Amino acid sequence: MSTATDNYEMIRLDRIRFAYQDESRLLENLSFSIQRGERVCLLGRNGSGKSTLLRLIAGLLNPTAGEIFVNGVSTTDHKRQRELRRQIGFIFQNPEDQIISTTVETDIAFALENFGVAQDIMRQKVSEYADRFELKELLHRHPLTLSAGEKQRTALASVMVVQPQVLLLDEPTSFLDYRGRQRLLATAFGERSYTIVGATQYAQEVLQYDRVVFLDQGRLLFIGSNEKFAQTEQWKQMTTTTSARMREGIGTNTLVDTGSSPLRGARLEMCSVSFGYSGGQKVIDGLSMGVSPGRITAVMGDSGCGKTTLALLLAGLVKPSAGVIRLGSQEVNAKELSRQVAVLFQFPESGFFAESVLEEVAFGVRDLHLNSGEIEQKVRIALKMVGLDFDTFAGRNPFVLSAGERRRVAIASVLIMERPTILFDEATLGLDWEGRKTMVRLLRDMRNSGKTIVLMTHDVEFAAKTADDIVLMDRGAVVWQGAIAAPDLPRRFIVDHFGAKAFAE
């Protein structure tokens, strides 16, 4: 692949080392350069240092040793920080990390205002980028009331509007639906005006880049072209999606005592349910659907279609304004649902409070009058189920873990409560390829134990490999539901909304 760069060094890393306080060294002796207009992809397992490296390039962290230059300016040169800020655009994995204003319009305009852009030009730019990212109808909404995908589009517009020279992407497509991903990739990669350094866990996105930098435990394991990386064992591991191991259950990783049976789920039904947030239009409108125990149901639809609100209703965290919810054959209220249904939301890490992984995971069983040994055993099993070694992680502070590691801790915190019904809202966000395979095996194991499993997801490949049933949503309503192998599956809807034929093949 030709790079179309002009041989001008835009970014240079000179023997970079970094460690967080009280942590072992995370990045070790990294040295390489990136040319202007070049696109470099950061790959590696969870905890390999990708996000930390991006923050170092952005000047948000200072290296423990070594130096980083962006367009000839050291990231530790505090006198030229404003100059660097104008040149660098950083798009975080979690869009809430960079939302700072009270409306979408003022959030997009914030950086322009800081840089002293004239009012008439500012209005023109805000309108242009709101249109580009399909935010025109949301300009007067508070960003925190938006769906995750809408928040990410707002964050993208607020960064891209200043047209930075360097674009740092920390898995920015994780929260986007198919059309949102296409929009981001077209905007960022449509021309060579940006130098791009991006981290991703999606193998298909690697092809957008010129070179690959693969990190392993903070060390540079590979640097080279896409063509050369495609010949490596690392690429093979990333792109191997089916195997005998994935089709097996975990089997022995049960959280219950030997001789007892796991809590089995019951059929969960919504009948003509409607719901709208205060002062707004209905988010869920006359929705009817059902999910069965011993099956995995994937709920899919574009950003803003109501998937997360549906999860809130099923978990009893909000009450429907109309309609009823049944568990088994009985109508249940929100309080009863909250005792039967566990839910893992899109940003579960934001609720962390404990100083160790052990305490964080154990919180859900502290009121069961167990002794410390029994609690520790349950935590061991829960961590093992999500692929985390107890001895390595139990004593670590969850706030300094990678995004994927934090996600696994959050999942373990839900699993340890042994609820018969579990909802996962975008369960694979932040997980590397090994974490995604672990999730597939884990979900199948829970299904085989009779639990009721519901996945709200944009991840088409994950749903295709995992789900038994599909619920397709559009604008707060169910447009189709049934078995994933059903002959009447609306293939055109799948292709148009998710860009894949995974369910049809």
pLDDT by residue (tens digit) across 6-18? Answer: 678 999 999 999 9
Instruction: Tell how strand 295-300 and strand 469-474 pair up.
Output: parallel
Reading the chain (505 residues) residue by residue, the pLDDT tens digits are 334 456 789 999 999 999 887 666 689 999 999 999 999 999 998 889 999 999 999 999 999 999 999 999 999 998 888 888 889 999 888 888 888 899 999 999 999 998 889 999 999 999 999 998 889 999 999 998 887 778 888 988 999 898 899 999 998 887 777 777 887 788 788 778 889 999 998 888 898 999 999 999 899 999 999 899 999 998 988 887 533 333 333 333 444 433 334 567 889 999 999 999 876 778 999 999 999 999 999 999 888 889 989 999 999 999 999 999 999 889 999 999 988 999 988 777 777 889 999 999 999 888 788 899 999 999 999 999 888 999 999 999 998 888 788 888 998 998 998 889 999 998 888 788 888 888 888 899 889 989 999 999 988 888 888 999 999 999 899 999 999 888 888 877 877 777 765 555 5
Residues 229 and 275 in one domain: no
Tens digit of each residue's pLDDT (9 = 90 or more) over 111-135: 999 888 999 999 999 999 999 888 9
Residues 279 and 158 in one domain: no
Residues 216 and 324 in one domain: no
In a domain, 252, yes or no: no
Residues 343 and 390 in one domain: yes
CATH for 278:
3.40.50.300
Pick from 295, 246, 339: nearest CA to 446: 295
> From the DSSP assignment, how many helices (H) and strands (E) are in the chain?
18, 20
Pick from 458, 352, 359: nearest CA to 403: 352
Strand partners, 139: none
Sign of the Cα torsion 469, 474, 477, 480 reads negative
In a domain, 260, yes or no: no
- Return the axis-axis angle of helices 433-448 and 403-415, rounded to nearest 10°: 10
Contact 47, 53 (CB under 8 A): no
Distance separating alpha carbons of residues 449 and 431, to the nearest angstrom:
24
Number of structural domains found in the chain: 2
Among 184, 218, 239, which residue terminates a domain?
239
In a domain, 277, yes or no: yes
Pick from 491, 433, 482: nearest CA to 459: 433
Residues 222 and 302 in one domain: no
Residue at token pair 């000047």 = 59
In a domain, 249, yes or no: no
In a domain, 113, yes or no: yes
Residues 135 and 273 in one domain: no
Residue 98 lies in domain: 9-239
In a domain, 30, yes or no: yes
Residues 216 and 134 in one domain: yes
Query: What is the DSSP track for 142-192?
Result: -GGGS-HHHHHHHHHHHHHTT--SEEEEESTTTT--HHHHHHHHHHHHSST
Strand partners, 88: 166
- Using alpha carbons only, how large is the chain's radius of gyration in Å? 23
Residues 153 and 229 in one domain: yes
In a domain, 503, yes or no: no
| Six token digits for residue 100 | 């700072």
In a domain, 108, yes or no: yes
Residues 217 and 275 in one domain: no
Beta-carbon contacts of residue 279 (< 8 Å; ≥ 6 apart): none
Q: The pTM is what?
A: 0.79
Distance separating alpha carbons of residues 394 and 436, to the nearest angstrom:
21
Residues 41 and 82 in one domain: yes
Contact 32, 66 (CB under 8 A): no
| Six token digits for residue 467 | 């789900």
**In the Cβ-directed half-sphere of 243, how many Cα atoms lie within 13 Å?**
12
